[in-house]
Amino acid sequence: MGWVFSVPGVAFSEAVTGWAGGDCWSDRNTASTVPPIATTPTAAPISTPLFRPGAPPGCVAPAGGPAIVELREVRKTYAGPVHALRGVDLTVVRGDLLAIVGPSGSGKSTMLHMIGTLDRPTTGVVRVAGHDVATLSDRELSALRSRHLGFVFQQFHLAPGVSALDNVADGLLYTGTNRRIRRERAAAALERVGLGHRLGHRPAELSGGEQQRVAVARAVVGDPPLLLADEPTGNLDSTAGADVLRVLADLHESGTTVAVITHDAEIAGWCPRQVRLRDGLIVDGHEHDNLGPVALLKGAGR
Ligand SMILES: Nc1ncnc2c1ncn2[C@@H]1O[C@H](COP(=O)(O)OP(=O)(O)OP(=O)(O)O)[C@@H](O)[C@H]1O
Q: Is 110 in the pocket of ligand 1 (CB under 6 A)?
A: yes
Distance 153 CA to ligand 1 centre (A): 15
Q: Is 1 in the pocket of ligand 1 (CB under 6 A)?
A: no
Nearest of 51, 57, 69, 55 to residue 286 by alpha carbon? 57
Q: Is 39 in the pocket of ligand 1 (CB under 6 A)?
A: no
Q: Is 109 in the pocket of ligand 1 (CB under 6 A)?
A: yes
264: confidence class by pLDDT, cuts 50, 70, 90: confident
Counting every residue, how long is the chain?
Answer: 302
Distance 298 CA to ligand 1 centre (A): 33
Q: What is the pLDDT of residue 298?
A: 45
Cα gap 156→154, rounded to integer Å? 6
Q: What is the pLDDT of residue 78?
A: 96
ipTM surpassing 0.95: yes
Q: Is 18 in the pocket of ligand 1 (CB under 6 A)?
A: no
Q: Which atom of ligand 1 is nearest to the CA of 110?
A: 18
Q: Atom 17 in ligand 1: which residue has the minimum CA distance?
A: 109
Q: Is 262 in the pocket of ligand 1 (CB under 6 A)?
A: no
Asked if residue 36 has a cis previous peptide bond (ω within 30° of 0), the answer is no
More confident residue, 8 or 273: 273
301: confidence class by pLDDT, cuts 50, 70, 90: very low
Complete domains list, the chain, with CATH: 4-299 (3.40.50.300)
Residue of 14, 75, 78 with the most ligand 1 atoms within 8 Å of its CB, for mutation: 78
61-65, 107-111, 143-147: which has the minimum mean pLDDT? 61-65
Q: Is 115 in the pocket of ligand 1 (CB under 6 A)?
A: no
If you average pLDDT over residues 287-297, what whole number do you get? Answer: 47
Q: Is 100 in the pocket of ligand 1 (CB under 6 A)?
A: no
Phi, psi of 87 (to 5 degrees): 105, 80
100: confidence class by pLDDT, cuts 50, 70, 90: very high
Count other Cβ atoms within 10 Å, centred on residue 121: 22
Q: Which atom of ligand 1 is nearest to the CA of 80?
A: 4
Q: Are 13 and 3 in contact (CB under 8 A)?
A: yes
The residue ranges of DSSP E strands in the chain, in sequence order, are 4-7, 10-13, 67-78, 82-93, 97-101, 123-128, 131-132, 149-152, 226-230, 257-262, 273-278, 281-284
Q: What is the pLDDT of residue 11?
A: 45
Q: Is 15 in the pocket of ligand 1 (CB under 6 A)?
A: yes
pLDDT, tens digit (0-9, with 9 covering 90-100), for 148-168: 999 999 999 999 999 999 999
Q: What is the pLDDT of residue 169?
A: 96
Q: Is 102 in the pocket of ligand 1 (CB under 6 A)?
A: yes
If you average pLDDT over residues 130-149, what whole number do you get? Answer: 91
Pairing of strands 4-7, 10-13: antiparallel
If you average pLDDT over residues 259-266, what whole number do you get? Answer: 90
